[in-house]
């Protein structure tokens, strides 16, 4: 087993560059790190190019044997702890990361889903990762993002999705307003969050709705607000006027879930009553 001991190794330098969007785009690959993320990548049959393993982590059993058996089926390189720490983005790394080919995402919007989530200029990687994870948790398979939204292959985004990034189709649009108009033509009402309304998220039906979540600092852009059908706000009882983008998205998505579960329960009740 050959072990790379130098941080100046050409392959190591190439892997380091993948922390930058420019090089991820050029190479059409990105990084995932940690045992859970690697297991998810394997389970979801991601196209894994290379797996980097820290030699010391094998010796001290940081990586469980079952995963090591799976890793052995792929192209692997082994590095010293010093080299691994030079490429990791994590404070307490688990000693394994992988270079994975980007998904061949479809740019075609699926108009069969109950709701469509749209992001207008989200900048924080943690927020995007949280939203992707929440989208996955409610069974939705796609999300639409404006071109100025943070890169969905940013290592911090990928890490915070906890594997959801392998299952969600991220559709990046060059012109968000035109994309929204296309969504409206396909029978969806578009909901924009706004403080300048008395409409509550608890007063609307979430079926066939597109929900827009805006930029952390400036909210939803005026052009996007102008083409939306409904403006709503999340009622708050305290003095805080706005919520974190990831939190706001989660509240709205789970209001959709609450109402859908309630509707299913009612339908089941009536069916049982009739039978």
DSSP characters over 70-124: HHTTS-EEEE-HHHHHHH---SS--SEEEEEEPP----S--TTSSEEEEEES---
Of 24-28, 41-45, 88-92, 119-123, the poorest mean pLDDT is in 88-92
Instruction: Please tell me which residue, 71 or 106, carries the higher pLDDT value.
Output: 71
Identify the CA nearest to 169 among candidates 205, 142, 204, 203: 142
> CATH assignment of 115-268?
3.40.1280.10
Give the per-residue pLDDT at 266. Answer: 65
The CATH classification of domain 3-101, taken from the options 3.20.20.370, 3.40.1360.10, 3.30.1330.30, 3.30.230.10:
3.30.1330.30
**Residues near 205 by beta carbon (within 8 Å), at least 6 away in sequence:** 259
Q: Taking Cα atoms as reference points, which of 209, 216, 195 lies closest to residue 253?
A: 209
pLDDT tens profile 127-156: 999 999 999 999 999 999 999 999 999 999
If one compares 90 and 101, the residue with the highest pLDDT of the two is 101
Residue whose structure tokens are 């009740």:
269
DSSP β-ladder status, 189-193 and 209-214 = parallel
Q: Where on the phi/psi map is residue 121: left (φ > 0), alpha (ψ -120 to 50), or beta?
A: left
SS3 150: coil
Residue 242's pLDDT is what? 77
Query: Given a cut of 90, is residue 167 above it in pLDDT?
Result: yes
pLDDT tens for residues 92-133?
888 899 999 998 877 899 999 999 999 999 999 999 999 999
Extract the tokens encoding 3.
């072990």
* pLDDT band at residue 237 using 50, 70 and 90 as cut-offs: confident
pLDDT value at 269 more than 80: no
**Under 8 Å between Cβ of 199 and 235:** no
pLDDT tens, position by position, 168-223: 999 999 999 999 999 999 999 999 988 788 889 999 888 999 999 999 888 899 99
Residues 6+ apart with CB under 8 A from 239: none
Check pLDDT > 70 for residue 246: yes
Greater model confidence, 107 or 18: 18
Q: What is the DSSP letter of 165?
A: G
Q: Which two tokens stand for residue 115?
A: 């709701």
What are the boundaries of each domain within the chain?
Answer: 3-101, 115-268
Compute CA distances 196 → 60, 126, 234, 270, whole Å: 57, 27, 11, 39
């Amino acid at each position: 087993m050959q072990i790379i001991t130098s941080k100046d190794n050409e392959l190591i330098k190439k892997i380091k560059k993948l922390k930058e969007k420019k090089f991820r785009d050029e190479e059409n690959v990105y990084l995932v790190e940690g045992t859970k993320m690697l297991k998810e990548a394997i389970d979801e049959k991601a196209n894994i190019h290379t797996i980097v393993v820290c030699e010391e982590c094998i010796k001290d059993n940081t990586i469980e044997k079952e995963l090591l058996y799976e890793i052995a089926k792929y192209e692997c390189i082994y590095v010293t702890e010093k080299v691994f720490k030079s490429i990791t983005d994590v404070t307490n790394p688990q000693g394994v990361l992988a270079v994975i080919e980007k998904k061949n995402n479809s740019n075609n919007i699926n108009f069969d889903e109950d709701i469509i989530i749209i992001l207008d200029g989200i900048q924080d990687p943690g927020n995007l990762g949280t939203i992707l994870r929440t989208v996955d948790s409610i069974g939705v398979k796609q999300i639409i993002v404006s071109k100025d939204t943070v890169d969905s292959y940013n290592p911090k985004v990928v890490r915070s999705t906890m594997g959801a990034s392998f299952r969600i189709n991220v559709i990046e649009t060059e012109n968000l307003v035109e994309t929204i108009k296309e969504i409206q033509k396909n029978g969806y009402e578009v909901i924009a969050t706004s403080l300048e309304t008395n409409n509550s998220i608890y007063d609307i039906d979430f079926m066939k709705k597109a929900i827009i979540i805006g930029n952390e600092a400036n909210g939803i852009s005026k052009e996007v607000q102008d083409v939306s059908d409904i403006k709503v706000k999340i009622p708050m009882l305290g003095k805080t006027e706005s919520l974190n983008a990831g939190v706001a998205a989660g509240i709205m998505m789970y209001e959709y879930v609450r109402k859908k579960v309630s509707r299913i329960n009612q339908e089941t009740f009536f069916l049982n009553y009739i039978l």
